[in-house]
Each structure stands twice: as C-alpha cells, then as structure tokens.
A and B are shown apart, each in its own frame.
Chain A
Amino acid sequence: MKDSRRSFLKIAGVSALGLTAASNAHAIGEYFIPSEKAIKDQKVSTADRWGMVIDTRKLNHETNKKMMEACHVTHNVPTLPEKYKKQEIKWVWEEEYSNAFTEIHNEFQSEEAEHAPILTLCNQCENPPCVQACPTKATFKRADGIVLMDFHRCIGCRFCMAACPYGSRSFNFQDPRNGLEDGKPTNPQFPTRTKGVVEKCNFCAERLAVGKIPACVEVSEGALVFGDLSDENSEIRKVLKENYTIRRKASLGTGPSVFYIV
C-alpha cells in the first residue's frame, strides 16, 4: 500500500509538471524573431570596434555647444532649469581640461591649458564597468564595440552610474519631457526616456543603422573623427598614427574608444 501511494504521487507530480510546462511552452521563446525575418538595413555602417578621435585644438565653447545641441536635438535630451543642475542629463558635455584628465595633472600649466574646454561623452569602453555592474543586462556591449542600453530593461538601480569612472551616465529623477520645449520631443523618430531610468550617449547607434555618422561628428567641422578602430586603413587609424593622443583615465583598464589629440 505504501509503495503504490508513493509511486502514485510521483507520477501525479511529474504529470502536473509536464502539463504546466506544455501549456506554458508558447510563452518561452516563441517570439524570438528568426534571423531571416529580421534583417539589417541595407545602408547600415558596420565596424568591429567603433571609435572616435577628438581634436582638442579645434574645440572652443562655440563648436562644443553646436555639437552638444546637435546631439540633444537628435536624442530628445532634456534641458532642465538651473535649480535642477544636479539632475542634469548628459550625453555629450563640456568639461575643463583639468577635470576631464584628472590622472595627468601637471603643475605650472597655463590658465588656458588648465581650463581648455574639452568635449566629453561616453567612452564606449572596450572593458565597460557599467556592463559588469548592471544587474538586469539592460546595459550591454554590442559586437561592434558600442556600449548600449535597453531602456525597457533598466530598473533604475544606478549601479552603472557608480561604476562609470567618467560620469557619462545620468538618471532621470523626473520625467525628461519636463525638460523639452512644451513637453514635446524635438525628434519624434527617437523615443524620449522615462522617469526612473538611466541614459547615456549611444554613439548614435540608430543613425549608424541607416548609414549615417553620429550627429555630433556631422556638425564638428573636422574636430571629431569617427570610424572603425579595428580597420588599419581607416581614416581614424591614420589620424591616430599621425597624432599623439591620450584617453581619459586609461590606467583604470576600461579601454576607452574615445581618443583626444592634445
């Protein structure tokens, strides 16, 4: 009697499990879009590792402002009133030389060099600490080197902000549409973000997907060079060969893909 009851329970348990699994199987992976159904745009720009060179000799407040403006309009980046300065959303922004390059602070520098306006943005690191910190894999590194965010998945824990040594990430403490004119996005083709998620520069992944170069590079008048770092014959590699460049906090081992000609 004991034995048969035991085996009955076993069979009942396994059957129940099987029934549950079968009825829920459709929820697992059915809506994975197969690769023959989801393709890239024909005009897509591809690379093994996207990178950028910034010629600091060509930077000034005006050109910086123009590049920042181009980015912000393209990506609906809000401009919050001065009293919310601490809640500022930064994709690409201006930093004084001494604040941008904290590792190699030199004594007795000229005022001009010390306060030179440097354009800073997400470094699209080779070894990104934000990706390691993210508990939901909302931030991830694409095969082409771009460190991207899936805003849908971001739970707003801000671990990535603590992990990023460059301050390249911003948290939406309020609805970002508050900081857009009339609450209307400047570029309806691109989504805004929502309160409670983190955001950062995406190296214009959505523009690269249709063969355009990043918005800031487009208006940079030669101050920014964008290209494939893994391609020996690319323009960016030529520029890197011909000029002495530095990277922000390179000794941390993050492997920034943004280089600065100084």
Chain B
Amino acid sequence: MSDKGKIVVGVAIFAALVSFPFWYNTGTAKPAPELIIAPEAKAAGACVLPKDQMAKEHMQLLDGWRNSVVREGQRVYVAESGKQYAMSLSNGCLECHTNKADFCDKCHEYASVNPYCWDCHVNPKEK
C-alpha cells in the first residue's frame, strides 16, 4: 500500500500518453471537403446508383465491375433506370466526373486513403 503514490503517478502518465493523440488533435479537425460535381455529371442527371449509395459503396461497386469486365467480358452496366454505362474508370466514370482532383482526390486525401487505381488507369483529361 505504501506505493500508492507511485502507482497513481504511473497511471496518470500512462493515461496521458495513451490519450495524447486525442487531446493533441482536439479542435484541429477540418470539415469534410465539399464535393464538386462537374458540369458534365450534372448534365447527366443521375449516377449508376443513388448518390449516397455511390458515396458509401463506390469502391465495392468498382470491385464488382472489375470482375465482371475482366472475367466475364461484360463491359456494359445496366442501371435501375435502364440506362447503359461503360464499366470503366477511365472511359466511364471520368467521362462525367471530369474533375478527378476535386471529385476523387480531395475526399481520398481527407480520409487518408491511397487507392492505387491511378498507378495504371489513366485520367483521360490529364493530357
């Protein structure tokens, strides 16, 4: 029992260290970036899926598209509305979303994710 003081100090230091990232970053959080929809995308009216579903699940959708295109050779996506889309990042998505920097990169940067799509796939508007 005589070590009570040492233990309390130890626990306090431990707690301070563990919680350091939390209190150090308090108040520095930036607001989520505002999505800028390119005029081409606005003109198209609707995306392949509803907007909030796209925001949440576009990565899984792209993964499914990849398998469908590469494995099955099925390269055209029929949306709920019956409209057909090319299942292609460069030749489909970016046809409407012409502003990759404002549309893709901004959010990915904010969320600290580094998708390696662009190591191979090409942004046709970059030329």
- Interface status of A242 (Cβ within 8 A of chain B): no
Inter-subunit contact B121/A38 (CB<8 Å): no
A55 CA / B4 CA spacing, docked (Å) = 92
Inter-subunit contact B122/A191 (CB<8 Å): yes
19 A–B contact pairs at CB < 8 A? A31-B60, A31-B61, A32-B67, A33-B65, A37-B78, A38-B74, A39-B76, A40-B74, A41-B75, A150-B71, A151-B120, A184-B126, A188-B122, A188-B126, A188-B127, A189-B122, A191-B90, A191-B121, A194-B119
B61 / chain A contacts, CB cutoff of 8 Å: 31
Inter-subunit contact B120/A38 (CB<8 Å): no
- Secondary structure at the B interface, as helix, strand, loop or mixed, is helix
Distance of B13 from chain A, by nearest CB (Å):
36
- Interface status of A193 (Cβ within 8 A of chain B): yes
Inter-subunit contact A37/B122 (CB<8 Å): no
The A/B interface has a contact count, at CB < 8 Å, of: 76
CB-based nearest A residue for B63: A31
Q: Which residues of B contact A (CB under 8 A)?
A: 57, 60-61, 63-68, 70-79, 84, 87, 90-91, 116, 119-124, 126-127
- Secondary structure at the A interface, as helix, strand, loop or mixed, is loop
Most A CB contacts (10 A, CB to CB) among B60, B70, B87, B126 go to: B70
- Interface status of A192 (Cβ within 8 A of chain B): yes
Inter-subunit contact A142/B73 (CB<8 Å): yes
Instruction: Given A188-B127, A191-B120, check contact A38 B77 (CB 8 Å).
Output: yes
Closest 9 CB pairs of A and B: A31-B64, A38-B74, A188-B124, A191-B120, A194-B119, A31-B60, A38-B68, A188-B122, A33-B64
A30 CA / B56 CA spacing, docked (Å) = 14
Instruction: Given A30-B60, A194-B120, check contact A35 B74 (CB 8 Å).
Output: yes
A31 CA / B68 CA spacing, docked (Å) = 10
Q: Which residues of A contact B (CB under 8 A)?
A: 30-33, 35-41, 44, 140, 142, 144, 148, 150-152, 184-185, 188-194, 205, 209
B79 / chain A contacts, CB cutoff of 8 Å: 37
B122 / chain A contacts, CB cutoff of 8 Å: 185, 188-192
A35 / chain B contacts, CB cutoff of 8 Å: 72, 74
Instruction: Given A188-B127, A189-B91, A191-B90, check contact A140 B74 (CB 8 Å).
Output: no
